[in-house]
């Protein structure tokens, strides 16, 4: 089985998913090969964990690309091996049912199935997560949030669930709750640079959305957002999202009118106060640094240099657009 099936990247781009699912017929045929008598096949069959992880990923990519028949076969293989009552297999089955559900009514039937399973065994975490995902897919974000909060109450060390909760809150514009959830994620995985950057993004959004008329608070929020981006860059060199956010926040900070009137070395309250905002010179330097680095990333990525081609195209385009916007401003 191909390496990308056994160990796929954390977020599979559509092209890769398509390529993976196109292998499905070949792999499924291979594995069902000439069948030996019962006991002999027991000896030859490979039971390595990789095989089954491969099937799981194959199932996921087949569902993504709409190859429901191959997905069905993968699911059957997994069920044969691990049994109907395996939690992971149950979740995969649920996912399959959701994917082939034709209309809202069918989805509701799947949902009732989940409720039934959870009534018997409330500790079944994969199914509880599927239930949340299904509620979200059925466009009931409030219910999804409630269900997720219930899940996190009994399992508060689940970083994935906290991150999902942050996203749910963000779609409902509840910024401080989203920030709280992301803080929980960071407490579990303190060095996750993407979460630091995400935190910076939400802080930026929230300070723009809530404090547009209060410059002091706005600056406080922007400073923290900027520092989050700094931390994410500190943890991961050449992190595009980090530099993008850094440039965005610093240019915003530089354009604040109150910046000049109030240098604000407000005494940092040792107990509850937040950090004092950095000096103007530091912000300017950071802005220059971010601009230079973004330009470098965009240039090298466009030239296709080896080691610089891992960026997502959409992000590179956004960075280029940000740089262009800045250049136009200078011309004017």
Partner 1 sequence: MAQPVVQTIHRDPALFYWILLPITVVMVLTGILRHYAMILLQSAPKKQTLPQVRQQRSLMRAINLRNNFNVISASSFQNRKALMVQAFKDGAFLADPEARGKPRPNPMTDPAMMEGMMGMMKGNVAMMVPQTLIMGWINAFFSGFVIMKLPFPLTPQFKSMLQSGVGTRDLDVRWVSSLSWYFLTLFGLQPVYNFILGSNNAASQVTQQMAQMNQMPGMGPEQDPDKLFLSEAENLEVIEHYWILDGVEDRLLAKLT
Binding site for partner 1 (CB under 8 A): 121-123, 153-158, 180, 183, 186-188, 190, 196, 224, 226-228, 230-231, 233-234, 271-275, 278, 282, 285-286, 289, 293
Choose between 14 and 216: whose C-beta lies nearer to partner 1. 216
Rounded least distance, CB 162 to partner 1, Å: 10
- Least spacing, CB of residue 191 vs partner 1, in Å: 9
In whole angstroms, the minimum distance from the beta carbon of 156 to partner 1 comes to: 4
Minimal distance, residue 327 CB to partner 1, in Å: 22
Distance of CA 103 to the CA centre of its chain: 27
Q: Toward partner 1, which CB reaches closer, 23 or 225?
A: 225
Phi–psi pair at 48, nearest 5 degrees:
-70, 145
If the CB atoms of residues 20 and 294 are measured against partner 1, the closer one turns out to be: 294
Q: Which is nearer to partner 1, 55 or 243 (CB)?
A: 243
Please report how close the Cβ of residue 219 comes to partner 1 at its closest, in angstroms: 14
For partner 1, give the closer residue by CB, 154 or 212.
154
Closest separation between CB of residue 139 and partner 1, Å? 28
Q: Which is nearer to partner 1, 214 or 282 (CB)?
A: 282
């Amino acid at each position: 089985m191909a390496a990308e099936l056994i160990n796929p990247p954390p977020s599979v781009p559509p092209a890769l998913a398509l390529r993976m699912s196109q292998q499905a017929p070949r792999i499924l045929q291979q594995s069902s090969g000439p069948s030996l008598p019962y006991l002999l096949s027991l000896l030859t069959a490979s039971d390595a964990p990789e095989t089954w992880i491969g099937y799981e990923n194959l199932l996921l990519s087949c569902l993504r690309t709409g190859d429901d028949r191959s997905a069905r076969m993968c699911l059957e293989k997994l069920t044969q091996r691990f049994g109907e009552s395996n939690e992971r297999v149950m979740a995969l089955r649920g996912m399959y049912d959701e994917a082939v559900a034709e209309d809202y009514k069918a989805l509701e039937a799947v949902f009732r199935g989940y409720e039934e399973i959870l009534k018997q065994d409330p500790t079944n975490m994969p199914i509880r997560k599927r239930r949340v995902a299904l509620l979200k897919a059925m466009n009931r974000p409030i219910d999804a949030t409630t269900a997720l909060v219930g899940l996190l109450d009994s399992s508060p060390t689940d970083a994935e669930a906290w991150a999902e909760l942050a996203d749910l809150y963000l779609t409902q514009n509840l910024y401080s709750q989203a920030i709280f959830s992301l803080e929980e994620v960071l407490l579990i995985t303190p060095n996750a640079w993407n979460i630091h950057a995400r935190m910076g993004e939400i802080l930026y959004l929230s300070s723009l959305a809530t404090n547009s008329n209060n410059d002091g608070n706005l600056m406080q929020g922007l400073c923290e957002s900027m520092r989050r981006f700094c931390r994410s860059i500190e943890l991961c060199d050449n992190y595009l999202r980090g530099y993008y956010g850094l440039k965005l926040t610093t240019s915003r900070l530089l354009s604040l009118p109150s910046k000049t009137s109030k240098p604000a070395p407000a005494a940092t309250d040792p107990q509850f106060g937040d950090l004092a905002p950095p000096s103007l010179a530091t912000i300017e330097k950071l802005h220059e640094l971010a601009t230079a680095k973004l330009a470098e990333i965009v240039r090298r990525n466009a030239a296709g240099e080896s080691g610089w081609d891992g960026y997502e195209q959409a992000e590179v385009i956004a960075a280029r657009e940000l740089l262009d916007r800045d250049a136009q401003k200078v011309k004017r």
